[in-house]
Structures are given as C-alpha cells and as structure tokens.
Amino acid sequence: MKTTKHIKTLNNANLKESAVKGGCGECQASCQSACKTSCTVANQKCEK
C-alpha cells in the first residue's frame, strides 16, 4: 500500500504483468451465474 497526502493506493496493480506471465489455465473454472456458488472470477486464486 502506498500513501501520499492526497492519495492512498491499495494494491500493487499488477494486472499487466499477470497477462504476460499468466494463461496457464490450471485455475478453477469460474461460473459467474447466480445459481452456482462455485466461484466467480474476482475471488479466485492463481494456482501458480
């Protein structure tokens, strides 16, 4: 977390990096539908 006088940044914003390294496909499938609580993408973990 980085804090300056006017702005607090909550995370280290690594989405772009993850695109380059990612895509292995080992993580869980992610049904987004209301009928299934298996997982949705936002709360998944990376398997790496």
Minimal distance in Å, beta carbon 31 to other proteins?
A: 5
User: Nearest to residue 12, comparing CAs of 23, 28, 20, 1?
Assistant: 1
The token pair at 42 is: 């936002």
What's 6's DSSP letter? S
As a whole number of angstroms, the distance between CA 31 and CA 42 comes to 11
Among 32, 37, 42, 45, binds ligand SF4 (CB under 6 A): 32
* 31 near ligand SF4 (CB under 6 A): yes
41 binds ligand SF4 (CB under 6 A): no
**Footprint on this chain of other proteins (rule: CB under 8 A):** 1-16, 18-19, 21-38, 40-47
